[in-house]
Amino acid sequence: MRYLYMKALVFKTFGGPEVLEYGEVMDPVIGPDEILVRMKAIGLNFADIYRRKGNYHLAGEPPYILGYEGAGIVEKVGAEVQGISTGDRIAFADVPFANAELVAVPYEKLIPLPESISFKEAASILLQGLTAHYLTRDSYAVKNNDVVLVHAAAGGVGQLLVQIIKLLGGKVIGLTSSKEKVEAAKKVGADLVLQYRDDWKQKVLEETNGKGVDVVYESIGSTLMDSFAVTRIGGTVVFYGMAGGDPAPVDPRLLMDTSKTLTGGDLWNVLTSREERVTRSKELFRWIEEGKVKVSEPTTFALRDGQEAHRFLESRKSTGKILLLP
């Protein structure tokens, strides 16, 4: 008989990585429409850092458990769940308390994992891959010969955006902050990569014969007006993050005078049903299987070394995904 306690990464007060503790907590109790998953790989994201610091709201009482993304094996199935069996491989992108050996996953949020996709690949790609998927399919549907500017092109979402834009027939100009990151963006297929410290706006306009790009994927925030400056008349800026600080307010007259479009994107407005999750994940997995999208090798830490993993992510030295392994 298995004990009713599992190992998890928890914290009782907000603060730096040192508040994280590896210890025992009670196993989750699943409801009739949930499954119990034994975790094999857990994705670490900046949202985990914001929650640990207290910047994001957390429900319930401490000890808190971070983590929202991962992959594993079904250990137990709720009474009302059909079509899922013990031993099945599954993944998820938005289920809380994932920094643990066992996670209760609602049926509507589970994503079946084909044999061809490893647990590490799934935990590396789902959150960022589904983000890149809706940005290029919904926020702005990338077409053949579109010229696209991608901010933070060597980051997790950035590298996936570059690859998906290329497979949809677009041309990519990437922006990064260092020589190493220039190489990382080129490696995944960017046609031209500029550094923020260059006169990048001038170079983008030169590259497009003074017209500007068709679309900008803007994740920095503080560069929003610069993104508008390099977008062609009638072009689009897709705003989906502010890693570099808040954006300046946009005067609607700017949009009117230049016929430009500003649109926003948030994954949770897109993943509103099980059907959406499964359909989008299938396309993502197919691209990986066909070699059209490559998942860069993740950096892995044991779950017990969560403090170290958080420090590494906050150092911004990582280029690929960071995973926690129970």
Q: What CATH number is associated with residue 94?
A: 3.90.180.10
151 shares a domain with 41: no
300 shares a domain with 227: no
Averaged pLDDT, 127-132: 94
Q: Give the pLDDT band of residue 174 (cuts 50, 70, 90).
A: very high
> Of the ranges 103-112, 177-186, 311-320, which one carries the lowest mean pLDDT score?
311-320
Confirm whether 235 is domain-assigned.
yes
Q: What is the pLDDT of residue 10?
A: 96
Q: What is the pLDDT of residue 175?
A: 98
Confirm whether 297 is domain-assigned.
yes
107 shares a domain with 68: yes
Averaged pLDDT, 39-53: 93
Residue 2 has pLDDT above 70, yes or no: no
How many domains is the chain built from?
A: 2
Averaged pLDDT, 195-220: 97
Confirm whether 283 is domain-assigned.
yes
Q: What is the pLDDT of residue 159?
A: 94
Boundary-marking domain end, from 264, 281, 304: 264
pLDDT digits (tens, 9 = 90+) for 84-113: 999 999 999 999 999 999 999 999 999 999
247 shares a domain with 180: yes
Q: Give the pLDDT band of residue 212 (cuts 50, 70, 90).
A: very high
Confirm whether 47 is domain-assigned.
yes
Q: What CATH number is associated with residue 170?
A: 3.40.50.720
Tell me the three-class secondary structure of the chain, residue by residue. Answer: CCCCEEEEEEECCCCCHHHCEEEEEECCCCCCCEEEEEEEEEEECHHHHHHHHCCCCCCCCCCEECCCEEEEEEEEECCCCCCCCCCCEEEECCCCCCCECEEEEEHHHCEECCCCCCHHHHHHHHHHHHHHHHHHHHHCCCCCCCEEEECCCCCHHHHHHHHHHHHCCCEEEEEECCHHHHHHHHHCCCCEEEECCCCHHHHHHHHCCCCCEEEEEECCCCCHHHHHHCEEEEEEEEECCCCCCCCCCCCHHHHHHHCCEEEECCHHHCCCCHHHHHHHHHHHHHHHHCCCCCCCCCEEEEHHHHHHHHHHHHCCCCCCCEEEEC
Domain that holds residue 277: 5-125+271-325
Residue 320 has pLDDT above 80, yes or no: no
Boundary-marking domain end, from 244, 264, 284: 264
Q: Give the pLDDT band of residue 50 (cuts 50, 70, 90).
A: confident
Confirm whether 134 is domain-assigned.
no
96 shares a domain with 175: no
246 shares a domain with 215: yes
Q: Give the pLDDT band of residue 283 (cuts 50, 70, 90).
A: very high
Confirm whether 131 is domain-assigned.
no
Question: Mean pLDDT of all residues in the chain?
Answer: 94
Boundary-marking domain end, from 264, 283, 303: 264
211 shares a domain with 278: no
Confirm whether 136 is domain-assigned.
no
Confirm whether 110 is domain-assigned.
yes
259 shares a domain with 174: yes
Global pTM? 0.91
pLDDT digits (tens, 9 = 90+) for 227-271: 999 999 999 999 998 888 889 999 999 999 999 999 998 888 999
279 shares a domain with 260: no
